[in-house]
Amino acid sequence: DGGITQSPKYLFRKEGQNVTLSCEQNLNHDAMYWYRQDPGQGLRLIYYSQIVNDFQKGDIAEGYSVSREKKESFPLTVTSAQKNPTAFYLCASSMKQGTEAFFGQGTRLTVV
């Protein structure tokens, strides 16, 4: 089945710890995105990538890092510099930037 897979579904982070969220797609899409959603809020763009080995900061990139070494994979690291990381993180992909995007099932990150 084609789709976007995020893991884990739930993640707990201790203060000062870095954690990495996985996102894999087998749709052969060029563009991939990471969004953050806080309760009752819309989606805010963290990072995006149009092509392998290239990525750009979105609106709220501080405290996050990404890599795009393979077309299929776009992992997001939430670093200790992100002071309020508790949120719902959504990975998406699209054929090209600006076309319809499809989402993974999301990762809910909680700081403990």
Adjacent-strand bridge partners of 31: 94
Q: Is residue 85 close enough to count as binding another protein by CB under 8 A?
A: no
Q: Which is nearer to another protein, 45 or 52 (CB)?
A: 45
Peptide bond into 85 cis (omega under 30): no
Q: Are 102 and 4 in contact (CB under 8 A)?
A: yes
Q: Is residue 97 close enough to count as binding another protein by CB under 8 A?
A: yes
Q: Which is nearer to another protein, 75 or 102 (CB)?
A: 102
Q: Is residue 98 close enough to count as binding another protein by CB under 8 A?
A: yes
The position carrying tokens 């969004």 is 35
Q: Are 77 and 64 in contact (CB under 8 A)?
A: yes
Query: Which residues would be at the binding site for another protein (CB under 8 A)?
Result: 33, 35, 40-43, 45, 48, 56, 58, 90, 94, 97-106
